[in-house]
C-alpha cells in the first residue's frame, strides 16, 4: 500500500510539474547577467574574478580615507540592501559591499559551493583584494552567520561585528517561518521552483519581512528581487544552498569563542529570525550589546536607516577611539 501511495504521489507531482511548465503565466524565464548588470549597477560597481574563480559584484563606496566597513547582505538579497546605510554613513566610513555567492549580480559560482564556510572564504578573498588588514564586519540575516563564521576563522582581521537580525542560532520546534520562505525546503517542490518564480511570491516574501509593508514595499523593489533571482544559474544556486539544510550546523555552540566587540540590532517584529534568537546570541557572545526596536521587522537597516545607522556609527566610533 505504501508503495502504491508513493507511486500515486510521484505521478501527481509529475503532472503538477507538467502543468506548471506549460503555464506561461507562472513560468519565469532566466535573465542574462549582462543585461541585469547594466540595469542594477551603480557608478561604484565592478565585477572581479577572485581566486576561487567566482566573478563577484563589488561596490566600494563612501569615504575612502575612513574606517572600513564590509557589508554582508542576507539570503535572496543583494548589495542594494545596504544603499540606505551608504547614504547615512558614507560621509565618514569606507563602505564595501558585495553580492555573496548565489545572489545578486554574483550569482552562480564555479563548483557550486554555497556553504557558510565558502562564503567566509569568499569574504577573506575580498578582504585581501581590497587590501584590508582589519575591518568592521556588518552582516544581516544569512550575512550575519557568514560574519560569525569569519570571526571564528579570522578573528585577527576584525575590529568589531555589527549583526542585524542574524541567523546562526538553532531554531526551536515551535518556531514557524512565513510559508513563502519555507517553499524552497519542500523537496518535491524544488524542481518546480527552478522554473516557477511568480512575482507575487517575491512580493509576499518582502511583505512578510517588514513590520509595516504598506509603507515599505515598492513595485521597483519587488521587480529588482524578482529579476535578480532569475539571473541564469541563480535559482539552481538557491536550491543548492537550501539543500544543505541540517548538514550545516548552527553556530550557537561556538559563539562563546567570539570575544570581539559586537553590536546586535534586531526588530521585535522579525518573523524570520525572532528576537529570541538575538537575546540568546547576546547571552552567548561575551562582549556584545543588543538593541531591539519594537516597531521594526527583519530589515532594520532598510526600515529605519537613520536610527540604525546612527547606532552603528556610535559603535564604530567607540572602537576607533580606543
Looking up cell 518564480, which residue turns up? 197
Judge whether residue 313 has pLDDT over 60: yes
Check residue 175 and give its pLDDT: 80
Check residue 172 and give its pLDDT: 84
pLDDT-derived band at 219 (thresholds 50, 70, 90) equals very high
* pLDDT more than 70, % of the chain: 85
pLDDT-derived band at 286 (thresholds 50, 70, 90) equals very high
pLDDT-derived band at 10 (thresholds 50, 70, 90) equals very low
Alpha helix ranges (H) inside 196-233: 199-209, 219-228
Spatial separation of the C-alpha atoms in residues 171 and 175, rounded to whole Å: 7
Check residue 29 and give its pLDDT: 87
How much is the average pLDDT of 159-177?
91
Check residue 174 and give its pLDDT: 80
Residue of 171 and 315 predicted with greater confidence: 315
Check residue 189 and give its pLDDT: 63
Q: Are the CB atoms for 251 and 149 separated by under 8 Å?
A: yes
pLDDT-derived band at 88 (thresholds 50, 70, 90) equals very high
pLDDT-derived band at 164 (thresholds 50, 70, 90) equals very high
Check residue 26 and give its pLDDT: 53
Spatial separation of the C-alpha atoms in residues 31 and 197, rounded to whole Å: 12
How much is the average pLDDT of 135-150?
98
Question: Using alpha carbons only, how large is the chain's radius of gyration in Å?
Answer: 20
Judge whether residue 169 has pLDDT over 60: yes
Residue of 181 and 170 predicted with greater confidence: 170
pLDDT-derived band at 27 (thresholds 50, 70, 90) equals low
Q: What is the pLDDT of residues 287-303, one digit of tens each?
A: 999 999 999 999 999 99
Judge whether residue 16 has pLDDT over 70: no
Out of 7-11, 19-23, 208-212, which region has the weakest mean confidence (pLDDT)?
7-11
Residue of 201 and 304 predicted with greater confidence: 304
How much is the average pLDDT of 187-198?
71
How much is the average pLDDT of 158-177?
91
Judge whether residue 21 has pLDDT over 50: no
How much is the average pLDDT of 150-172?
96
Average per-residue pLDDT in the chain?
A: 89
Q: What is the pLDDT of residues 220-238, one digit of tens each?
A: 999 999 999 999 999 999 8
266 closest CA partner among 277, 275, 255, 254? 275
Check residue 217 and give its pLDDT: 98
Contacts of 153 (CB under 8 A, 6+ apart): 120, 124
Judge whether residue 19 has pLDDT over 50: no
Burial of 179 (0-12, 13-18, 19+ CB in 10 A): exposed
At residue 266, φ and ψ (nearest 5 deg) are -140, 150
3-class DSSP state of 55: strand
Judge whether residue 322 has pLDDT over 70: no
Amino acid at each position: 500500500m505504501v508503495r502504491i501511495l508513493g507511486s500515486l504521489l510521484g505521478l501527481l507531482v509529475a503532472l503538477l510539474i507538467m502543468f506548471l511548465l506549460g503555464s506561461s503565466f507562472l513560468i519565469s524565464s532566466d535573465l542574462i547577467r549582462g543585461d541585469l548588470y547594466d540595469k542594477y549597477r551603480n557608478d561604484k560597481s565592478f565585477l572581479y574574478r577572485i581566486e576561487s574563480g567566482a566573478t563577484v559584484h563589488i561596490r566600494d563606496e563612501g569615504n575612502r580615507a575612513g574606517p572600513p566597513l564590509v557589508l554582508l547582505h542576507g539570503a535572496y538579497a543583494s548589495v542594494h540592501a545596504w544603499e540606505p546605510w551608504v547614504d547615512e554613513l558614507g560621509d565618514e566610513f569606507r563602505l564595501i559591499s558585495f553580492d555573496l555567492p548565489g545572489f545578486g549580480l554574483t550569482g552562480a559560482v564555479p563548483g557550486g559551493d554555497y556553504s557558510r564556510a565558502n562564503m567566509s572564504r569568499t569574504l577573506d578573498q575580498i578582504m585581501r583584494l581590497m587590501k584590508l588588514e582589519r575591518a568592521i564586519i556588518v552582516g544581516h540575516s544569512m550575512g550575519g552567520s557568514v560574519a560569525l563564521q569569519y570571526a571564528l576563522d579570522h578573528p585577527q582581521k576584525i575590529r568589531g561585528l555589527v549583526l542585524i537580525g542574524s541567523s546562526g542560532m538553532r531554531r526551536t520546534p515551535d518556531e514557524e517561518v512565513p510559508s513563502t520562505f519555507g517553499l524552497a525546503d519542500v523537496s518535491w517542490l524544488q524542481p518546480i521552483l527552478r522554473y516557477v518564480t511568480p512575482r507575487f511570491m517575491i512580493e509576499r516574501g518582502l511583505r512578510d519581512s517588514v513590520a509595516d509593508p504598506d509603507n515599505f514595499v515598492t513595485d521597483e523593489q519587488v521587480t529588482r528581487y524578482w529579476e535578480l533571482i532569475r539571473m541564469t544559474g541563480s535559482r539552481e544556486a538557491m536550491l543548492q544552498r537550501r539543500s544543505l539544510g541540517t548538514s550545516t550546523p548552527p553556530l550557537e555552540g561556538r559563539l562563546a569563542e567570539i570575544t570581539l566587540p559586537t553590536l546586535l540590532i534586531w526588530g521585535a517584529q522579525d518573523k524570520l529570525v525572532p528576537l529570541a534568537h538575538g537575546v540568546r546570541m547576546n547571552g552567548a557572545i561575551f562582549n556584545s550589546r543588543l538593541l531591539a526596536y519594537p516597531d521594526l521587522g527583519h530589515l532594520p537597516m532598510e526600515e529605519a536607516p537613520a536610527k540604525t545607522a546612527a547606532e552603528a556609527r556610535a559603535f564604530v566610533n567607540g572602537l576607533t577611539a580606543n
